[in-house]
Amino acid sequence: MILAGSDTTTVTLIWGLSLMLNKPHILKKAQEELDTHIGKDRFVNETDIGKLVYIQAIVKETLRLYPPAPLSAPRELSETCSIGGYDVPKGTRLIINLHKIQRDPKKWPEPSEFKPERFLTTHKDVDVRGQHFELMPFGSGRRSCPGTSFALHMLFLTMSNFLHAFDFSTPSNGLIDLTGTAGLTNIKSTPLEALVSPRLAPELYN
């Protein structure tokens, strides 16, 4: 459980930062939200998360585009049923392609575009906890990830502190490669290279 929780969280943070580096205006908007609600004399703490709605939207959009486990855990059908017009017999093992579902153009306008604002407007009521089948990076039902709440808490808090404490840029000012790899975990195919500089008071880093 510890291994599953550590690599998926790391992968999501890497994808989120990569997406923002390719769209610096989103990164800037997130930092403006942090400066407004947190200021520059302290780091983000757990009680601040509820106020940082734009950063929550960034995390949700990252999970939509790059679910850490693009194929859900296998299910075995307990009874015969119909799925998408196909009769599936009892005992069949079913693996759900979350990557495909979460980029369905029927549910997501411009499905391959990184647009966190959609979770503040058209999709503001869509959550990631498995209650909306168009977005379920943690699965759904009794087989959903048992660490969903903890994972979201850590993602919001870590992402917020990253963006608040540091300025990020790319070494060549070029676009980050967003190619993924095949596997159980959706790992970025090339390492993320970024230049990092502090943006808060020096004494906070001691």
Q: What is the CATH number of the domain that holds 180?
A: 1.10.630.10
| Low-confidence residues in the chain, pLDDT < 50 | none
SS3 57: helix
Q: What is the pLDDT of residue 83?
A: 82
Q: What is the CA radius of gyration of the chain?
A: 18
What are 195's strand-pairing partners?
169
Q: Please report which residue ranges of the chain form alpha helices under DSSP H.
A: 2-22, 24-37, 53-65, 98-101, 148-165
Q: Cα separation of 57 and 116, whole Å?
A: 5
Q: What is the pLDDT of residue 30?
A: 98
Residue with the two structure tokens 């502190």: 161
Residue with the two structure tokens 């205006």: 25
- Residues 6 or more apart whose CB falls under 8 angstroms from that of 69 comprise 8, 98, 137, 184, 185, 186
In a 10 Å sphere around its CB, with 0-12 CB exposed, 13-18 middle and 19+ buried, how is residue 3 labelled? Answer: exposed
Q: What is the pLDDT of residue 5?
A: 59
Q: Cα separation of 146 and 102, whole Å?
A: 21
Domain count, the chain: 1
Q: What is the pLDDT of residue 116?
A: 98
Q: What is the pLDDT of residue 2?
A: 58
Q: What is the pLDDT of residue 143?
A: 78
Residue 70 CB coordination number (10 Å): 20
Whether the Cβ atoms of residue 9 and residue 151 lie closer than 8 Å to each other: yes
Q: What is the pLDDT of residue 4?
A: 58
| Tokens describing residue 76 | 């075995």
| Tokens describing residue 140 | 């759904």
* 67-114 per-position pLDDT tens digit: 998 988 888 889 999 988 989 999 999 888 999 999 999 999 999 999
Domain ranges, residue 38: 2-205
Is 145 annotated as ligand-binding? yes
